């Protein structure tokens, strides 16, 4: 791909560079438009063209770093460091828009083809492709064109300045500087109900400022700011001033301090010198604030790159929510971007555009680089995303569900069972069925009180809070893992390395990479793995499978699940821990399809059925259509919406001459030969699966759920997520 590169000797190049890869939880975006932040980028280019002495004067902070290096490592090391810095190209740009072409498996908000606004000096460059973390991307609403959305980051800078100013309806605000950010500040203040007096040095800015909503425009050198302010504010002075200039002169600060009233507020946005004269600031008791970039979250790597959003109850407006607010204002037509867009140029001509901007007297305000038509990007996005995902996946492995079943009768029964995780589910649904079936060893739980409680209640030998404690024994042992989902894969791999026989609650893992690692660990282990897909062990499921086995030809199944809305405060609402509802819960029902049809799933078409926005930014409701190798098909409807009077789980299967239905695993209804028969059931399979696994551990039966079958169900679940993200049907990979 092509990207603009800046060198510290002043050179700008349009270089061919390798394409980026989405960061964990992020997206890959094909750029359609980016905006040149003229003030910031022109300053960078001008500094790059300076000689060493000029650079030293402009950046004394960098000089101090060089001196520190020389003091600690010697002058040679310091000079090598300077030389390396001067030789290394740096990117330009931080405000862009485009279309998503690839989504990292950890991302839950976006899918291929989504139009998005992109921000960040570390990632939203002037380049054909951008790799961005989730919280530096925002969906573009209908009614906003991509060239407008490319202004989002710049608008967020202005919006954060307005938030720091805190204008009330009717306040009179002085805005010093009418460059791009200053004009956007003017527009947003006017939208907030404030009256704006705009100040600039260039007469050409007057028309732009009026178009963006300023009530009064003062051009220094032509008008006296003090006199104009006195007349405009009835002698009181402005309520606040926003400094949007970039200068080493202290004049804007001094003018603002003189022009605002007692206890007024000054907000500094631009890179402007701010020597605060004690007398005037003390006597007026002025407040000075700096506005930091796009808003809370900026410069916090745990927020921007770690995806740790701030709770809205504590931080109402983060940089991500500022992005969204700006896009909504654009959608409502409250930011007149057309008025300040003075040039739209092809990206291939970017170097010539920069050359023009560096000329004396250049008058451009908003310059938009256009990469190519959005239509062509939309046509190519799905293909590009699929190709990129294919290249990033591990080598395919042929899986045959009925082959490689090595988990036959154990020749040596297991002598002890250790358990990791003593939560409510383990205490109520698993351990009661294992008690007296196999000797209990150590119970491990992060909370010591809970570990002790379970030890005493179920008769474990010991309790611990560190899972490392259970991997010290030498006798044959099994382990049950009932922790939160993100711990499943690491614990399974550790237990396989110890040659343990494992029962792990669903899901087995949270990513294909983890699945590949478990494959490798299992290949080296004498242990076995069973996943807690309990519904295939339910009596109703076993009876239904027996009925279907007598029916020729393919079948059609529809499984409707209505679990209710997920409480965002529940740990399932933390995607990093749970993997979300599709991966953490829907895998159950996908596994049941595989069990009933006893055929390999081939392809999936899935979608979300509730907007992935708001407090819970990942799919809470989804549907999936699955095609199987024997011609059967299955539909999963997993919906958080509905009415509680309707059954939570309803499975309907259609076959030649038969219709069967399971209702909440309490009733099996079979329609056959024009007759209806109903059978009562009482279990979702927890007791049956635990009993079957216990018989295996005692050497009395073969393994009840061979690993390859569980693995296939996990692959089907990953395929559902892929289809949601890519907005198309996907083939099931090996």
In DSSP notation, 642-685 reads S-TTS-SEEEEEEETTEEEEEETTTEEEEEETTEEEEEE----S
Asked whether the predicted pLDDT for residue 89 surpasses 90, the reply is no
Rg (CA), the chain: 32
Distance CA 479, CA 571 (A): 24
Distance CA 424, CA 382 (A): 43
Strands 501-505 and 528-532: parallel
Residues pairing with 669 in the sheet = 661, 678
Residue 536 DSSP one-character state: G
Asked whether the predicted pLDDT for residue 72 surpasses 70, the reply is no
Asked whether the predicted pLDDT for residue 373 surpasses 60, the reply is no
Helix then strand then coil, in percent of the chain rounded to 5, is 40, 25, 40
Residue 223 DSSP one-character state: B
pLDDT averaged over every residue in the chain: 89
Asked whether the predicted pLDDT for residue 360 surpasses 90, the reply is no
- The mean pLDDT value for 162-189 works out to 97
pLDDT at 391: 34
Burial of 184 by CB count in 10 Å (0-12 exposed, 13-18 middle, 19+ buried)?
A: buried
Asked whether the predicted pLDDT for residue 189 surpasses 70, the reply is yes
Cis peptide before 595 (omega within 30 of 0): no
pLDDT at 407: 56
CATH 3.30.360.10 for the 536-688+713-731 domain, yes or no: yes
Distance CA 226, CA 255 (A): 8
Structural tokens at position 385:
């995303």
Distant-in-sequence, close-in-space partners of 165: CB < 8 Å, separation ≥ 6: 173, 189, 240, 242, 265, 267
- The mean pLDDT value for 508-521 works out to 96
pLDDT at 390: 40
Residues pairing with 628 in the sheet = 601
| Backbone torsions φ then ψ of 693, nearest 5 degrees | -70, -40
More confident residue, 727 or 322: 322
Element containing residue 207 per DSSP (H, E)? helix 205-211
Task: Give the position of tokens 């090595």.
Answer: 406
Domain extent listing, the chain: 156-290, 416-529, 536-688+713-731
pLDDT at 52: 59
Helix axes 374-392, 707-726, angle to 10 degrees: 160
Residue 277, number of CB atoms within 10 A of its CB: 13
Evaluate whether 530 touches 430 at the Cβ level (below 8 Å).
no
Considering the four listed CATH numbers 3.40.30.10, 3.30.70.100, 3.40.309.10, 3.40.50.720, the one that applies to the domain covering 416-529 is 3.40.50.720
Distance CA 681, CA 540 (A): 6
In a 13 Å sphere around the CA of 425, the CA atoms on its Cβ side amount to 14
Residues pairing with 197 in the sheet = 174, 216
Asked whether the predicted pLDDT for residue 417 surpasses 70, the reply is yes
Tell me, rounded to whole angstroms, the distance of Cα 458 from its chain centroid.
Answer: 41
Distant-in-sequence, close-in-space partners of 79: CB < 8 Å, separation ≥ 6: none
| Backbone torsions φ then ψ of 661, nearest 5 degrees | -140, 130
Residue 438 DSSP one-character state: S
Distance CA 499, CA 521 (A): 10
For residue 487, CA distances in Å to 31, 455, 483, 600, 626 come to: 37, 22, 6, 28, 29
Same fold, 156-290 and 416-529: yes
Evaluate whether 34 touches 96 at the Cβ level (below 8 Å).
yes
User: In degrees to the nearest 10, what's the CA dihedral of 71, 77, 79, 82?
Assistant: -100
Evaluate whether 173 touches 189 at the Cβ level (below 8 Å).
yes
Burial of 614 by CB count in 10 Å (0-12 exposed, 13-18 middle, 19+ buried)?
A: exposed
pLDDT at 198: 98
Residue 403 DSSP one-character state: S
Distance CA 27, CA 21 (A): 8
Q: In the chain, count of helices (H) and strands (E)?
A: 27, 31
Asked whether the predicted pLDDT for residue 392 surpasses 50, the reply is no
Asked whether the predicted pLDDT for residue 399 surpasses 70, the reply is no
pLDDT at 472: 76
Distant-in-sequence, close-in-space partners of 615: CB < 8 Å, separation ≥ 6: 312, 568
| Backbone torsions φ then ψ of 33, nearest 5 degrees | -150, 150
Distance CA 93, CA 38 (A): 10
CA pseudo-torsion sign 571, 572, 573, 579: positive
Distance CA 334, CA 193 (A): 12
In a 13 Å sphere around the CA of 101, the CA atoms on its Cβ side amount to 28
Asked whether the predicted pLDDT for residue 168 surpasses 70, the reply is yes
pLDDT level of residue 50 (50, 70, 90 thresholds): low
Residue 650, number of CB atoms within 10 A of its CB: 16
CATH 3.40.50.720 for the 156-290 domain, yes or no: yes
Structural tokens at position 154:
């710049």
- The mean pLDDT value for 236-252 works out to 95
- The mean pLDDT value for 660-665 works out to 95
Evaluate whether 612 touches 582 at the Cβ level (below 8 Å).
no
Structural tokens at position 381:
């996005």
Element containing residue 504 per DSSP (H, E)? strand 501-505
Evaluate whether 192 touches 166 at the Cβ level (below 8 Å).
no
Strand ranges for 235-379 from DSSP E: 238-243, 260-268, 287-290, 341-346, 366-370
- The mean pLDDT value for 30-39 works out to 93
Least reliable range by pLDDT among 43-47, 234-238, 324-328, 352-356: 43-47
pLDDT level of residue 251 (50, 70, 90 thresholds): very high
Least reliable range by pLDDT among 183-192, 204-213, 337-346, 608-617: 608-617
Distance CA 198, CA 205 (A): 10
For residue 675, CA distances in Å to 64, 657, 659, 672, 681 come to: 89, 11, 11, 5, 20
Asked whether the predicted pLDDT for residue 634 surpasses 50, the reply is yes
């Amino acid at each position: 791909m092509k990207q603009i590169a800046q060198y510290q000797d002043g050179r700008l190049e349009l270089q061919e560079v390798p394409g980026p890869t989405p960061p964990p939880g992020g997206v890959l975006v094909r750029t359609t438009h980016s905006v040149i932040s003229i003030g910031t980028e022109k300053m960078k280019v001008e500094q790059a063209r300076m000689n060493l002495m000029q650079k030293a004067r402009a950046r004394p902070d960098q000089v101090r770093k060089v001196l520190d290096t020389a003091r600690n490592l010697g002058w040679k090391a310091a000079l090598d460091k300077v030389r390396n810095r001067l030789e290394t190209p740096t990117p330009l740009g931080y405000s862009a828009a485009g279309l998503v072409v690839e989504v990292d498996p950890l991302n839950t908000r976006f899918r291929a083809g989504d139009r998005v606004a992109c921000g960040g000096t570390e990632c939203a460059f002037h380049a054909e492709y951008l790799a961005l973390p989730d919280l530096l991307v925002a969906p573009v609403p209908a009614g906003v064109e991509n060239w407008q959305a490319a202004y989002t980051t710049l608008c967020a800078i202005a919006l954060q300045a307005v938030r720091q100013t805190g204008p009330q309806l009717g306040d009179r605000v002085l805005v010093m500087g009418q460059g791009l950010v200053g004009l956007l500040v003017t527009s947003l203040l006017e939208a907030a109900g404030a009256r704006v007096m705009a100040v600039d040095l260039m007469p050409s800015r007057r028309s732009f400022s009026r178009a963006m909503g300023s009530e009064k425009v003062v051009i220094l050198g032509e008008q006296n700011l003090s006199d104009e302010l006195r007349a405009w504010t009835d002698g009181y002075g402005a309520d606040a001033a926003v400094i949007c200039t970039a200068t080493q002169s202290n004049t804007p600060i001094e003018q603002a301090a003189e022009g605002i009233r007692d206890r007024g507020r000054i907000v500094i946005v631009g890179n402007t010198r701010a020597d605060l004269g004690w007398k005037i600031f003390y006597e007026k008791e002025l407040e000075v604030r700096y506005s930091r970039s796009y808003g809370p979250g900026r410069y916090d790597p745990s927020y921007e790159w770690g995806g740790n959003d701030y709770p809205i109850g504590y931080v109402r407006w983060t940089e991500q929510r500022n992005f969204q607010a700006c896009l909504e204002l654009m959608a409502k037509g409250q930011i007149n971007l057309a008025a300040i867009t003075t040039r739209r140029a092809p990206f291939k001509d970017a170097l010539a555009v920069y050359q023009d901007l560096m000329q004396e007297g250049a008058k451009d305000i908003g310059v938009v680089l256009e990469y190519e038509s959005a239509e062509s990007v939309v046509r190519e996005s799905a293909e590009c995303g699929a190709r990129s995902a294919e290249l990033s996946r591990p080598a395919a492995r042929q899986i045959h569900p009925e082959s490689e079943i090595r988990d036959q009768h154990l020749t040596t029964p297991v002598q002890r069972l250790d358990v990791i995780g003593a939560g409510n589910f383990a205490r109520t649904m698993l351990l009661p069925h294992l008690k007296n079936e196999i000797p209990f060893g150590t119970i491990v739980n992060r909370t010591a009180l809970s570990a002790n409680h379970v030890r005493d209640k179920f008769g474990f030998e010991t309790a611990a809070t560190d899972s490392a404690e259970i991997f010290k024994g030498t006798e044959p042992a099994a382990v049950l893992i009932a922790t939160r989902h993100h711990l499943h894969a690491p614990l399974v791999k550790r237990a396989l390395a110890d040659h343990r026989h494992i029962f792990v609650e669903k899901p087995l893992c949270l990513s294909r990479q983890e699945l590949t690692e478990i494959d490798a660990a299992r290949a080296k282990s004498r242990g076995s793995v069973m996943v807690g897909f309990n519904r295939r062990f339910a009596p109703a499921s076993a009876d239904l499978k027996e009925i279907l086995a007598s029916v020729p030809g393919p079948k059609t199944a529809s499984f409707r699940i209505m679990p209710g809305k997920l409480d965002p405060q529940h740990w399932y609402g933390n995607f990093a821990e749970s993997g979300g509802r599709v991966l953490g819960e829907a895998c159950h029902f996908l596994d049941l399809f595989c069990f009933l049809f006893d055929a390999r799933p081939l392809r999936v078409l899935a979608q979300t059925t509730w907007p992935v926005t708001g407090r819970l930014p990942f799919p809470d409701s989804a549907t999936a259509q699955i095609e199987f190798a024997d011609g059967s098909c299955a539909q999963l409807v997993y919906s958080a919406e509905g009415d509680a009077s309707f059954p939570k789980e309803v499975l309907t299967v259609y076959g030649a001459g038969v219709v069967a239905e399971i209702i909440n695993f309490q009733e099996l209804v079979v329609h056959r030969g024009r007759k209806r028969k109903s059978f009562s059931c009482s279990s979702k399979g927890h007791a049956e699966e635990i009993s079957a696994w216990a018989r295996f551990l005692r050497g009395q039966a073969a393994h009840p759920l061979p690993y390859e079958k569980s693995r296939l169900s996990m692959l089907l679940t990953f395929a559902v997520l892929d289809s949601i993200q890519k907005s198309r049907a996907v083939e099931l990979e090996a």
